[in-house]
Structure 1
Amino acid sequence: MIALDSMAFAGGGLVRAAHLRKDGALLSGMLSEGRVLPVWRGKPMVDAPRDALGWVRAGSPVLHGAAPPVFLGLDDAGKGLFAADTSDWSPEAGAEAVEAGFLDPSVQRHPALDDSHGYTELRAVMIRLSPLEAEIAATAKALLHWHRSHRYCAACGAPSDLAAGGWQRSCPTCAAQHFPRTDPVVIMLVTRGNRLLLGRSPGWPEGMYSTLAGFVEPGETVEAAVRREVFEETGIPVRAVRVLASQPWPFPASLMIGCHAEAEAEEIRLDPEELEDALWLSREDMAAVVAGRHPRVRAPRKGAIAHELVANWLADRLD
């Protein structure tokens, strides 16, 4: 198994205190004394010089017009940690987010805070945050995204209400209850002897390759999903599959399930709708990729489970 502390968003040890979520009066009191993480269109507030999250108090002007805060858990002192969606705030002209591209490099700064603070793309800072704060940011981003995309009851279509500290939505019309979703995704280290299979999706930055991945379908096991996805994308059959590790991936709300799969053949037959390219690389080539010396291929992003799968394979640490 791969150590959790080597991956972003995993192993932070957040005390989620689920038993407090339905006590509205208690949470209201905790909110007045606790800290709130503002999140704007999926981007958490970050204190850049400290490589830390940019917490504010409940009365901060940053939260003016924000959605009701959600309860994330407790800090080391037992104080409440919350997150609030501030997506309705409009930045000054010229400070809008970049809508296209693999990673949004723009930073939006709120006039109520100094220039050290700004709404920042989480991918850009995920390995700079502490394990705990990275887990908090991932939780906040995924949970607030769910609320923004599930405002209406799936049973009757009426507007639903936030409940249980943000971990539930309740319909006042038909009494249906809805809960946050996490989408399971298999991500596969596919090997054959001394070679590793990598692929790249259309639209990725030039030279970027990664291990194959795909969503688990209803009624499917993790192992079956690995075999199906590899065959659908590359035409390569695999036999033995084993689970190695998992990583929350809040883009927008996935759980990456890292697996090792042994290929039975090497001939690649691409599905162009899924992959732009796929290739086999030797262990020596992959060492050059990770070291940044390969002329064509760039390594998966540090902090992502794909990077850790590759690094542990190179170090012969999968067992």
Structure 2
Amino acid sequence: MRYAYRTGLTGSLIERADQIRISDEAVAEQCRSLRARLLKLADLDPELGPDGLLCWGSMADRPDGAELLFLGLDGDAPCFAPLIEEGQTPGMQAYAVWRQLDMMPPEEASTYAAARSLIEWHRGHLFCSRCGTRSRVTKAGWGRKCPACDAEHFPRVDPVVIMLAEYEGKALVGRQPRFPPDRYSALAGFVEPGEAIEEAVARELFEEAGVRAKEVRYLASQPWPFPNSLMMACIAPVEDDALTLDIEELEAAMWVSKEEVAASLAGAPDAPFIAPPHFAIAHTLLRAWVESDADKA
């Protein structure tokens, strides 16, 4: 597939093979295959080789009692991940794994992101939300079913908008208190029920920074497995550059030029801020803005 802007954590080489995961018999056959592989994880974190590639073991490495999650097919090799229910709190930020993501090719990171999100979803949805009974894994790990009320539950993603406000050739970047020192990024927020992407962008920009969007242009999307978001990147020209920050959300914000953003992306020692890591869509968004003629809008 061709992308206008290729984002990190996308492009997995594993075919999800839904035609297999809907059949218990087909999944069992894949489990018995001599080519079957099991993703090696340390809780939720990946085990990597020196080349930055994911490490895989055989089905004999399956932890005792762990359910298997069918990730799909890599050629003719069935790929699984173990569902170990005890571990990190669901949704816990995992900054340590970011160092590993820095090493990984995008397609490897994409495979890992799917596995991590799926495991975290199961950990947070062990019990039926309708009646409270413990549910069972179905569809090779891509669903759960309640044995008491027959309710079916499927993995969900949380839609998040991430955006650059733009005014007279400058873009708005901000930082949250939890960010590493000197790091700034695009503003972001969850899409609320009954809201379009464009409406969420406009609302979040006004709520967090007090600026009003004149229009919204969609750029690209990215899965974000911390724990299960879909990031949708946009650029929004705004009416003026006067800021009113929501100090509960933002510690600081500033307008930066394309030259300043380019210096930050390049890691220049005199750059005004540290850019987001290359695998984050905020990095893609900033780079796309620098390389575009968006300031003519």
Is the pair's TM-score, using the shorter chain for normalization, greater than 0.5? yes
Residue 281 (structure 2) aligns with = 305
Match of 2:153 among 157, 173, 178: 178
1:243 equivalent in alignment to 2:218: yes
Matches for 1:11-160 after TM superposition, within 5 Å: 11-33=11-33, 34-47=36-49, 49-60=50-61, 63-65=62-64, 67-76=66-75, 78-86=76-84, 88=86, 103-104=95-96, 121=97, 123-160=98-135
* Counterpart-to-counterpart distance in 2, 1:314 and 1:295: 14
* Counterpart-to-counterpart distance in 2, 1:103 and 1:124: 8
Moved more, 127-136 or 209-218: 127-136
* Counterpart-to-counterpart distance in 2, 1:307 and 1:301: 6
Task: From the superposition, tell whether residues 283 and 130 of structure 1 become closer, same or farther in structure 2 (CA, over 3 Å).
Answer: closer
* Counterpart-to-counterpart distance in 1, 2:144 and 2:94: 31
Q: Which amino acid aligns with 2:134?
A: P
Where in structure 1 are there 5+ consecutive unaligned residues? 90-95, 105-120
- CA offsets 1:95-121 (integer angstroms, 9 cap, x no match): x9xxx98622xxxxxxxxxxxxxxxx2
Q: Which amino acid aligns with 2:139?
A: A
* Number of corresponding residues: 288
1:192 equivalent in alignment to 2:191: no
Question: How far apart are 1:39 and its partner, in Å?
Answer: 3.2
TM-score (norm 1): 0.84
Task: From the superposition, tell whether residues 158 and 317 of structure 1 become closer, same or farther in structure 2 (CA, over 3 Å).
Answer: farther
- CA offsets 1:114-163 (integer angstroms, 9 cap, x no match): xxxxxxx2x22324333332221111000010001100000000000000
Matches for 1:226-241 after TM superposition, within 5 Å: 226-241=201-216
Identity, in percent, stands at: 40
* Counterpart-to-counterpart distance in 2, 1:152 and 1:10: 30
* Counterpart-to-counterpart distance in 1, 2:94 and 2:26: 41
Task: From the superposition, tell whether residues 241 and 250 of structure 1 become closer, same or farther in structure 2 (CA, over 3 Å).
Answer: same
Q: Which amino acid aligns with 2:250?
A: L
Where in structure 2 are there 5+ consecutive unaligned residues? none
1:314 equivalent in alignment to 2:284: no
- CA offsets 1:187-235 (integer angstroms, 9 cap, x no match): 1021112101001111111001000110000000000000000100001
